[in-house]
Structure 1
């Protein structure tokens, strides 16, 4: 089966135009990494494909090289001794009762157990001891000037800089206060905070102790916050006094009060003066045995103000973060991520895949809830300066707000959502050209995630931004707190494609019967071999067995022993790139042909951007239906209407560029598209409503009231 229009029309498939290639790939950190691997293992790896294949064929050796070359600060380091030096160590082995692992090697501390399975989760670097916060505050293999900027806070009203020395001191003071108020290893600390330096300080102070951090953005509704936090029972909650968005300040007291009332066992609520001069109201926040504090009161309550910062050295699988599934059709699942797995995966991605150099400046437009916040903060471990933007991306300078910020702060790596870039595309914004003439020469890369980036948007970015940038459409998610599909400085960029499979991530596309499909065909995204950023467990207040059961059901139910990620993808012939087609559970299957909604969205953005503001495409098959019908709902641009001419135009273009099987059976106008707080379309809930299922919609749907319209539509059609 093929969905390539040129092949279906009997034409020879034309090669895709290359949009970008690195001008000097041999100078990149990934090229240097490959050179060191060749030297150490007497190999002749020449291409990224060679390096990738080695990384998944030799999982233990690869991640050991990431540890060494990307750098990890650890009290105890793993150590693997090769066969070639056994004769030197024989006496030592006998004297100290070390163990031979077969005849091949003597292992003092292993990277990975031999023949490790994916579930239960294997323990990478089990004998090591390290602290995540120490690795971000004192990066390995990097010489840091303490007076240089670690964080730049950017807001709608101005910017401020925190240098490395100041960041370390702020973390020290809060960590000491946490300890003095009884925060211990594995306690949960929650932040109902915006994307600012205080959130990073609170996370690092939490991690320095070995407590577990969880963050929820202050734009989240009270019900959605409690759906998450009640499950994990935080000991301390940190909050903003107010938030500023789109030119207005909004007080947090009422929301915080309701959240605190719903959290039993909370011992302290600490309020930051995030919006200066705004009310700092803490009276009556905690009615039980706990206490509410301003931040200054909390850190000043410590008896010995000179207590040094102590980094608790912990096993690599010790929990670091709790993140949450989308919760669009029920209560969110609490996904627990490990310290070493998160650190190693992020350092691999930042240093090798993103080619981040010490002193580079990264901004990812994100909230503290989204996995990308954690990914951004980890750039500190590579010696980069992170820019934390808190506010609207379209304020105070409208569509030019982010380009002007890139210019003002000399940002090198800019990350955002595919939706943001498509908005700029629809408006045909070209910030570098007159009358704007914004200088974006500092940019090395733009990253996009959250939803598939349309081919037309790739072309737009290379026309509107510097053509020298690496445009990296990336994919992974909350489940792995990192990437499966990544950018790559050794490979070209092709429109519509994620550049490559991430090093060490043995991903494939599988058919429903559990067999890999060839390149060029669609399938479910799976990962067939262990990787260190697999979650530790799902949090359960009942028992570890319950959490492990939820974990297995989420990823190993469809293909036992193999990670099923829930994305529908295609690995492209010739380029080796990855095309995202949508979520597996939202796959469209009219007449048994499987395809993803992203293919329809790409057509709309390419050919109908002036008419259609947004859309949602789902399959409908009720018990009485013989086949599935593709239903496309259009949210029209201002002043536009959905008429027969537009419907016929869309159907004609889908038939021409995709196939007759892709053509929607129903096209109708809607007034709103349901989305999560991170801007992702809630396709599954709409599909279930149309199919007549009685579902409970979670509070994570930011505008769930609009789902009533879809219920009414389903009842009348």
Structure 2
């Protein structure tokens, strides 16, 4: 039976959505004959030249599009998008210079700042002049080791305006984690911060700054941004200068945005790095801009003067995704710190305080945050107005069906809950929300426009929607937001190996998914973490959805352990404070899984751990735990937010029998 809808857009919301006007525009221009989202998606995939041309025009991209939309459009990789175009990402984000808010910044409950669009333009102009004065030219790298604060956005836009390349990491990385990333790309300029606030505590970063700068010989200036102190001492940092002193000589001036090829590098992003040194993924001006305009305006219904929030650090791709909303005329609501610092009420309320205080229209967060506040009993609909909030985004891991229920029951009933999924690899999404579609429990609403997303079985055959069968998430045709390549990969061998070896000329993303009868998607986990007891493939997300419904379980992690020439399922659980795993709870966990899945899903072992290891962006690391359990080394533990948690899984006596 078709999954019942939890929410449906009103007729007025559908009529006024940017997506509806886009459908009307392509029908008029191309006689596309689109009547709903499904027909528009099919047309966008069948007619990519028409779709991406229309997107450029309807979103009013500043720049020259050129005569051709795509060359070698049957090659993946190898397609060339808008090959004659000239565009600058920063120019499109800074097109408005009025007195409306460009950004609001909250550093937990300690710091409040606000910049208008005109003030942001001035700050970017001064930074761009200073970078140019320091010798930064097209193709140079500028790296930032900063919190999600205004200076990160300002410096990124200044870098992009000059045609230099931006890369960032969050200041909670250790020294080796920073060197593993920035050391590969040899930046000319390094930005860092004197410290930051987290969960009410001051975290000093100056000692790390000294060490990082000393070990990167390419850095000619180390710019120290003030967060904790008005005038941090920089004399011990190699080539150190305070950021305020660096930009002080330069007054506001009209900016010169360098017109760049569509494929000119804009960002270098990093893979999580839990299986080795992080991959350096290069994304371009045109691809990032066009893809984000599509996802924001058509999928997220972001309109001029909307107020967009995403809980993210500068080390996660959602920061890059968030800040692009300036190109749609929206204001950015930036937050740095713990989402569980106590706000006006209980821990976890500060982000909802922010939503009310700043008239937030779009609230972006992780599935884990939603699960955590649900388990804590938070009821924002009773404690907050949330009267401007129209859209809630969730990503980072699959959003459990029960979390959908919680959002509509305890946060807001009339809300587009957009569970979205993609990755750093494409700086965007394969599956998204839609303001003209209903929300079905546990499902991502739709495949992204212009993205030929499909699900393949092990032999590379498409699996039809609605059968309940799972397979590999693939994209069978090129799209503009594909990376232009990896850094230091001149022949493209690493890039090809990462995505195109499994199915030739097809992007294989590494997610284990199914397409639903509603033409939505359910993500069952990462393909490389899929369990295989008795030859039956099981997505880890299928087990998490059941286990984490139990009130005693805060979080869980499941792996397949090689055992007796087969594989057995081993489940680790982190329990509520003060609780101990006993036979009764183990029995209830197994019963919950058996009743709602299959006997194959039931773990052979259930063990308690004090913590679950995760990456800096909050994703649990099944592969690292699997390596520990099997006595194999875990490379690059610097990529983990809590590497000490791996010790809870090492040499467990219970796994020897």
TM-score class, shorter: over 0.9
Match of 2:15 among 20, 26, 47: 26
Match of 1:259 among 205, 209, 212: 212
SS at 1:712 equivalent: coil
User: Are residue 126 (structure 1) and residue 83 (structure 2) matched?
Assistant: yes
SS at 2:76 equivalent: coil
User: Are residue 196 (structure 1) and residue 146 (structure 2) matched?
Assistant: no
Match of 2:203 among 250, 254, 259: 250
The alignment's TM-score, normalised by the length of structure 1, stands at 0.88
Please give the per-residue CA displacement for 1:308-332, whole angstroms capped at 9, x wherever unaligned: 3211111000000011000012111
The alignment's TM-score, normalised by the length of structure 2, stands at 0.96
Q: Residue 16 of structure 1 aligns with which residue?
A: 3
SS at 2:525 equivalent: strand
SS at 2:385 equivalent: coil
Match of 1:646 among 585, 598, 607: 585
Structure 1 distance, partners of 2:407, 2:398, is 14
| TM-aligned CA deviation for residue 391 of structure 1 | 1.5
Match of 2:573 among 634, 643, 649: 634
Please give the per-residue CA displacement for 1:540-584, whole angstroms capped at 9, x wherever unaligned: 1xx522xx11101100111111101011101112x1111010000
Structure 1 distance, partners of 2:81, 2:99, is 35
Q: Residue 165 of structure 1 aligns with which residue?
A: 118
Match of 2:481 among 521, 526, 533: 533
Does the C-alpha gap of structure 1 residues 663 and 174 become closer, same or farther in structure 2, counting only changes over 3 Å?
Answer: same
Structure 2 distance, partners of 1:212, 1:326, is 20
Q: Residue 103 of structure 1 aligns with which residue?
A: none
Please give the per-residue CA displacement for 1:449-486, whole angstroms capped at 9, x wherever unaligned: 00000000100000112211100111001000001000
Q: Residue 245 of structure 2 aligns with which residue?
A: 297
| TM-aligned CA deviation for residue 394 of structure 1 | 1.8
| TM-aligned CA deviation for residue 495 of structure 1 | 1.1
SS at 1:308 equivalent: coil
| TM-aligned CA deviation for residue 605 of structure 1 | 2.3
Residues 126-525 of structure 1 aligned to structure 2 (within 5 Å): 126-138=83-95, 144=96, 146-155=98-107, 156-277=109-230, 280-286=232-238, 291-301=239-249, 305=251, 308-397=254-343, 398-433=347-382, 436=383, 438-519=384-465, 520-525=468-473
Structure 2 distance, partners of 1:111, 1:202, is 31
Please give the per-residue CA displacement for 1:15-72, whole angstroms capped at 9, x wherever unaligned: 3221111112122110110111111112321111000000000111111111011121
User: Are residue 69 (structure 1) and residue 13 (structure 2) matched?
Assistant: no
User: Are residue 613 (structure 1) and residue 554 (structure 2) matched?
Assistant: yes
User: Are residue 57 (structure 1) and residue 42 (structure 2) matched?
Assistant: no
Structure 2: runs of 5+ lacking an equivalent: none
Please give the per-residue CA displacement for 1:143-167, whole angstroms capped at 9, x wherever unaligned: x461111111122224321001100
| TM-aligned CA deviation for residue 640 of structure 1 | 1.6
Does structure 2 retain, via aligned residues, the 8 Å contact 1:441–1:466?
Answer: no
SS at 2:639 equivalent: coil
Q: Residue 603 of structure 2 aligns with which residue?
A: 664
Structure 2 distance, partners of 1:671, 1:396, is 23
| TM-aligned CA deviation for residue 632 of structure 1 | 0.3
SS at 2:349 equivalent: helix
Does structure 1 retain, via aligned residues, the 8 Å contact 2:274–2:634?
Answer: no
SS at 1:152 equivalent: strand
SS at 1:699 equivalent: helix
SS at 1:337 equivalent: strand
Does the C-alpha gap of structure 1 residues 193 and 657 become closer, same or farther in structure 2, counting only changes over 3 Å?
Answer: same
Does structure 2 retain, via aligned residues, the 8 Å contact 1:510–1:516?
Answer: yes
Structure 2 distance, partners of 1:295, 1:49, is 50
| TM-aligned CA deviation for residue 663 of structure 1 | 1.0
SS at 2:612 equivalent: coil
SS at 1:505 equivalent: coil
Q: Which has the larger radius of gyration?
A: 1
| TM-aligned CA deviation for residue 201 of structure 1 | 0.2
| TM-aligned CA deviation for residue 537 of structure 1 | 0.8
Does the C-alpha gap of structure 1 residues 654 and 310 become closer, same or farther in structure 2, counting only changes over 3 Å?
Answer: same
Does structure 1 retain, via aligned residues, the 8 Å contact 2:5–2:439?
Answer: yes
SS at 2:84 equivalent: coil
Structure 2 distance, partners of 1:507, 1:316, is 23
Structure 2 distance, partners of 1:404, 1:301, is 38
Does the C-alpha gap of structure 1 residues 695 and 392 become closer, same or farther in structure 2, counting only changes over 3 Å?
Answer: closer
Please give the per-residue CA displacement for 1:497-517, whole angstroms capped at 9, x wherever unaligned: 100000011111111211112
Q: Residue 602 of structure 1 aligns with which residue?
A: 545
SS at 2:70 equivalent: coil
Structure 1 distance, partners of 2:410, 2:89, is 38
Structure 1 distance, partners of 2:634, 2:312, is 29
Does structure 1 retain, via aligned residues, the 8 Å contact 2:122–2:252?
Answer: no
Does structure 1 retain, via aligned residues, the 8 Å contact 2:123–2:252?
Answer: no
Does the C-alpha gap of structure 1 residues 306 and 499 become closer, same or farther in structure 2, counting only changes over 3 Å?
Answer: closer
Question: What CA RMSD, in Å, does the superposition of the two structures yield over aligned residues?
Answer: 1.4
Please give the per-residue CA displacement for 1:344-388, whole angstroms capped at 9, x wherever unaligned: 000000000011110000000000010000000000000000011
Does structure 1 retain, via aligned residues, the 8 Å contact 2:125–2:252?
Answer: no
Structure 1 distance, partners of 2:584, 2:357, is 46
Does the C-alpha gap of structure 1 residues 712 and 300 become closer, same or farther in structure 2, counting only changes over 3 Å?
Answer: same
Match of 1:569 among 513, 533, 543: 513
User: Are residue 560 (structure 1) and residue 547 (structure 2) matched?
Assistant: no
Q: Residue 141 of structure 1 aligns with which residue?
A: none
Structure 2 distance, partners of 1:508, 1:357, is 30
Does structure 2 retain, via aligned residues, the 8 Å contact 1:569–1:582?
Answer: yes
Structure 2 distance, partners of 1:324, 1:673, is 22
User: Are residue 116 (structure 1) and residue 74 (structure 2) matched?
Assistant: yes
| Most deviating of 597-606 and 367-376 | 597-606
| TM-aligned CA deviation for residue 115 of structure 1 | 4.2
Does the C-alpha gap of structure 1 residues 115 and 614 become closer, same or farther in structure 2, counting only changes over 3 Å?
Answer: closer
Match of 1:674 among 597, 607, 613: 613
Structure 1 distance, partners of 2:631, 2:237, is 43
| TM-aligned CA deviation for residue 395 of structure 1 | 2.0
Does the C-alpha gap of structure 1 residues 306 and 690 become closer, same or farther in structure 2, counting only changes over 3 Å?
Answer: closer
